Amino acid sequence: MNAFEHPDDRLVVDVWSDVMCPFCYIGDTLLAQAVEKFPHGSDVEIRYHSFQLMPHLPADLAVGVNELLEKERGIPRAQARAMNAQVAARAAEIGLDFRMDSAIATNSRAAHRLIHFARSQGRQHDMVERLFRAFFTDGLNVGDHDVLTDLATQIGLAPAAAREALDSDTFDADVDADVRQAGQLGITGVPFFVFGGKYAVSGAQPLEVFLQALDTAWKGKSAASA
């Protein structure tokens, strides 16, 4: 399915994000809160698309986030901790528990393939949320296939099928298609949200911004079908 092929009876929000992106977790939570408040929230469908902030990281890498920031970005360890503490404080304001000192950075491609598998089973949102929590709260390695299989099992997916999806290249093309479309849309950072295929919101914006985007997209959809 093309990212912007939408069912007639639903308002679709397409989201590009990475499971290791703190603002993606915050933005996803704020969007979910907005959908809960939106009068037509039961008719909103959220679809997730792959984006990797650090696609060059080795698949077998497992390193602390603060150490990675120091090595990759040249940010002193103390400054990295301070930055992450600020992000954690913002996350706490909306009920999220960020434990950045124990977060393990790795290549997130396997996690994205698992998200596509979960989508094929109708459990994409559950998988995305579990991966966010695994990375930011539980300190788990979201590049490890054993860990990922266990996470898939926790949300009700068949472990053998999840493991097969991880160990094969079945969903590689889906990840690549998402990344390619992000490039075509000029997306250089995440989170990035597209409401109803027309209205874009970039970053973890305040709740009111998401509510406005939902309302605008809903009215546009209603006018188009009138």
- pLDDT tens digits for range 81-94: 999 999 999 999 99
Q: How far apart are CA 174 and CA 42, in angstroms?
A: 27
Give the per-residue pLDDT at 9. 78
Give the per-residue pLDDT at 4. 57
Q: How far apart are CA 34 and CA 37, in angstroms?
A: 5
- pLDDT tens digits for range 160-178: 999 999 999 999 999 999 9
Q: How many CB atoms lie within 10 A of CB 3?
A: 18
Residues 6+ apart with CB under 8 A from 152: 114, 117, 118, 127, 159, 162
Give the per-residue pLDDT at 6. 62
- pLDDT tens digits for range 64-120: 999 999 999 999 999 999 999 999 999 999 999 999 999 999 999 999 999 999 999
- pLDDT tens digits for range 125-169: 999 999 999 999 999 999 999 999 999 999 999 999 999 999 999
Strand partners, 45: 12
- pLDDT tens digits for range 168-224: 999 999 999 999 999 999 999 999 999 999 999 999 999 999 999 999 999 998 777
Q: How far apart are CA 5 and CA 197, in angstroms?
A: 8
The CATH number of 11-225 is 3.40.30.10
Is the separation of the CB atoms in 117 and 109 below 8 Å? no
Q: How many CB atoms lie within 10 A of CB 85?
A: 12
pTM beyond cutoff 0.75: yes
**Following DSSP, what letter does each residue of 53-105 receive, concatenated?**
S-TTS-TT--EEHHHHHHHHH---HHHHHHHHHHHHHHHHHTT----GGG-EE
Residue 21: closest CA among 1, 43, 50, 59: 50
* SS3 at position 38: coil
Residue 56: CA count within 13 A, CB half-sphere: 2
